[in-house]
């Protein structure tokens, strides 16, 4: 496949008038061609108009047909796996094996969300029959289902160049919902985005989808991105990235004459609590498990455990010594981009200078020009310092973690209450310790979207029951998830039909159930 650095506008490829930019190999600093041309507001208008036009037809597609489109995307990604993996590896420094695994996950996700659309899971059809004899007033016939919102803008994530990028979870869930997508690719993997964008375009063509079902505009977030979010024809936004970026999009969306939802997944430090019983039993094993999770993927996961709570004692002492030696010996890894690496190094420096915080270990890394390497870091503090310094909850995106040593259970509870919203919270303990720590669990359930027991937060399963979300600032809307089939719900809204003749109802709500969907009939779930 020949890469040309062009944006995608429906079935066309366009060379925007904006400035050219090239991809950079973060392992060497070398430029990788071709040049990518930044889009302009004229391109934004064209993409939004095309998407709104496509929505009229695409929103009428049954779930089965949407599933066919998603499946075809997955097939094309698989057929082009070698080219995708090679380019993603060059642009992000992520190892080939990781890219292969992530591609498999991306395809699985496409198919799973497609199945959810076909099975009726996303339609959520409900029927309440009329009761003309009800006293004092007759009951109307009411039927409801979830309908797509309209064109969705997706901001790709830097840290998942496949699974949360051009054909990633946000795009898959918007398509499964019946919404056209306009992608604003991440600058960290321009060529990977082009390859995948062209495959989505091909799938759309083969499935005879309306042209504007998919567009992709290269450009800077602050102009093209904001212009997309503010465009009156755009109806929702999906985003993964920094808190400041997500917040800027939330504010832009809220200031529109017609505000729209922004589903932003932002920073999280994913606290891990170790209870003393389990800590005294196997401190070295826990340290090894935590080290693996902190340093996985050079720490560049939104579920990276950046904050650890332990109760002082002999077990915690051994745990810290072991963790210190493991972190110090961690081999350096290439980070996704030079900017991200600079932000990581600045975060490590800030924690190194923080009063009351001790740097226990900093692994070596090549800091030379063109080398975006991050060395793993371990910090420790006491609960008093943590409770007094809100900034110790700032995300340091990379392989760094802070251990807070507490002197009592009360201090642990106090610290838990101070936490901001998180994607995950983890508890390590013996089963017999759980009863005595019920209050801690109850607090954590108010703070995080996913609670993990005796495990580590990295590794997010794509599943029906997955919640990858959490109260602000982990996400912009703690009622949502960006992973798992519930992610589709973000791009749907309920509509009720009252007293409509059967023939005028959508197929999903007709008495004969022609699509054979599971439906809630007079309050009872009826399977086809
Ligand atoms: P980012 O800076 O938030 O950028 C993500 C996307 O949002 C890019 O397309 C960017 O456009 C756009 N954007 C950023 N700020 C914007 C603004 N003010 N207005 C409009 N658009 C804006 O995230 P990143 O590049 O992936 O990484 C930077 C930092 O984000 C990391 O150091 C880390 O702290 C955090 N991060 C967190 C997670 C997580 O899941 N928790 C994941 C990745 C990154 P441009 O193309 O112009 O940059």
User: For this structure, is 265 an active site residue?
Assistant: yes
Q: Percentage of the chain surpassing pLDDT 90? A: 97
**What angle do helix axes 63-79 and 81-92 make, rounded to 10 degrees?**
70
Distance separating alpha carbons of residues 235 and 230, to the nearest angstrom: 9
Is the pLDDT at 369 greater than 90, yes or no? no
Query: Mean pLDDT over residues 427-436, rounded?
Result: 95
Catalytic residue among 302, 311, 341, 420: 302
- 170 within 8 A of 184, measured Cβ to Cβ: no
Q: How far does the centroid of ligand 1 lie from the alpha carbon of residue 362, in Å?
A: 26
- pLDDT tens, position by position, 193-240: 999 999 999 999 999 999 999 999 999 999 999 999 999 999 999 999
Distance separating alpha carbons of residues 375 and 357, to the nearest angstrom: 18
Q: What one-character-per-residue DSSP string does 115-177 give? A: HHHHHTTTT--EEE--BTT-SSSPBPPEEEEEEE-S-EEEEPPSS-TTTTSTTSHHHHHHHHH
- pLDDT tens, position by position, 263-320: 999 989 999 999 999 999 999 999 999 999 999 999 999 999 999 999 999 999 999 9
Q: What is the rounded average pLDDT for all residues in the chain?
A: 97
- The band of 17, judged by pLDDT with boundaries at 50, 70 and 90, is confident
Q: How far does the centroid of ligand 1 lie from the alpha carbon of residue 128, in Å?
A: 45
- pLDDT tens, position by position, 486-514: 999 999 999 999 999 999 999 999 999 99
E strands, 25-95, are 31-37
Strand partners, 402: 307, 379
The answer, yes or no, to whether any atom of ligand 1 lies below 6 A from the CB of 394, is no
Q: What one-character-per-residue DSSP string does 250-293 give? A: HHHHHTSSS---EEEE------EEE-HHHHHH-HHHHHHHHHHH
Cis upstream peptide for 473 (omega within 30°): yes
**pLDDT number for residue 370:** 84
- pLDDT tens, position by position, 143-177: 999 999 999 999 999 999 999 999 999 999 999 99
**pLDDT number for residue 242:** 96
**pLDDT number for residue 37:** 93
Considering only CA atoms, which residue is closest to atom 30 of ligand 1? Answer: 242
Q: How far does the centroid of ligand 1 lie from the alpha carbon of residue 156, in Å?
A: 9
Distance separating alpha carbons of residues 149 and 229, to the nearest angstrom: 14
SS3 readout for 470-488? CCCCCECCCCCCCCCHHHH
The answer, yes or no, to whether any atom of ligand 1 lies below 6 A from the CB of 306, is no
Q: How far does the centroid of ligand 1 lie from the alpha carbon of residue 103, in Å?
A: 22
* Nearest atom within ligand 1 for CA of residue 245: 15
Catalytic residue among 67, 91, 265, 420: 265
Considering only CA atoms, which residue is closest to atom 23 of ligand 1? Answer: 241
Considering only CA atoms, which residue is closest to atom 14 of ligand 1? Answer: 245
Q: Quote the tokens at residue 19.
A: 């400035």
């Amino acid at each position: 496949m020949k890469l040309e650095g062009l944006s995608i506008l429906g079935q066309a490829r366009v060379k925007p008038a904006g400035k050219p930019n090239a991809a950079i190999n973060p392992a060497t600093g070398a430029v990788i061609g071709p040049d990518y041309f930044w889009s302009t507001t004229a391109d934004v208008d064209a993409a939004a108009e095309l998407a709104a036009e496509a929505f009229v037809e695409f929103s009428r597609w049954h779930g089965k047909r949407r599933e066919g489109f998603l499946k075809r995307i997955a097939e094309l990604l698989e057929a082009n796996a070698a080219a995708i993996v090679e380019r993603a590896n060059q642009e992000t420094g992520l190892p080939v094996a990781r890219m292969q695994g992530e591609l498999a996950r991306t395809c699985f996700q496409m198919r799973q969300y497609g199945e959810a659309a076909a099975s009726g899971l996303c339609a959520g059809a409900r029927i309440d029959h009329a009761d003309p004899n009800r006293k004092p007033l007759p009951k109307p016939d009411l039927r409801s289902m979830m309908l797509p919102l309209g064109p969705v803008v997706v901001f790709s994530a830097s840290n998942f160049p496949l699974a949360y990028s051009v054909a990633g979870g946000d795009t898959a869930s918007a398509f499964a919902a019946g919404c056209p997508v306009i992608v604003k690719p991440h600058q960290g993997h321009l060529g990977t985005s082009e390859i995948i964008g062209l495959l989505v375009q091909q799938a759309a063509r083969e499935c005879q989808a309306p042209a504007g079902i998919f567009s992709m505009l290269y450009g800077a977030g602050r102009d093209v991105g904001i212009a997309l979010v503010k465009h009156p024809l755009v109806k929702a936004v999906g985003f993964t990235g920094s808190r400041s970026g997500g917040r800027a999009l939330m504010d832009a969306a809220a200031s529109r004459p017609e505000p729209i939802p922004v589903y932003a997944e932002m920073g999280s430090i994913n606290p891990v609590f170790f209870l003393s019983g389990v800590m005294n039993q196997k401190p070295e094993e826990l340290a090894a498990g935590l080290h693996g999770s902190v340093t996985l993927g050079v720490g560049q996961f939104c579920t990276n455990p950046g904050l650890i709570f332990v109760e002082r004692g002999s077990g915690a002492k051994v745990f810290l010594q072991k963790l210190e030696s493991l972190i110090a010996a961690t081999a350096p890894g290439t980070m996704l981009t030079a900017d991200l690496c600079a932000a990581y190094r600045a975060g490590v420096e800030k924690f190194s200078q923080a009063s009351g915080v001790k740097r226990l270990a900093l692994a070596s890394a090549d800091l030379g020009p063109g080398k975006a390497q991050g060395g793993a870091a371990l910090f420790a503090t006491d609960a008093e310092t943590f409770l007094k310094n809100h900034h110790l909850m700032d995300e340091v995106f990379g392989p760094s973690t802070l251990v807070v040593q507490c002197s009592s259970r009360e201090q642990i509870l106090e610290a838990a209450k101070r936490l901001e919203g998180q994607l995950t919270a983890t508890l390590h303990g013996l089963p017999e310790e759980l009863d005595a720590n019920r209050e801690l669990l109850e607090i954590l359930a108010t703070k995080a979207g996913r609670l993990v027991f005796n495990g580590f937060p990295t590794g997010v399963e794509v599943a029906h029951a997955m919640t990858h979300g959490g109260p602000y600032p982990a996400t912009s809307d703690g009622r949502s998830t960006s992973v798992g089939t519930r992610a589709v719900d973000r791009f749907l809204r309920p509509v009720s039909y009252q007293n409509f003749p059967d023939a005028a109802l959508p197929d999903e709500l007709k008495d004969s159930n022609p699509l054979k969907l599971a439906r809630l009939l007079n309050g009872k779930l009826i399977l086809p």
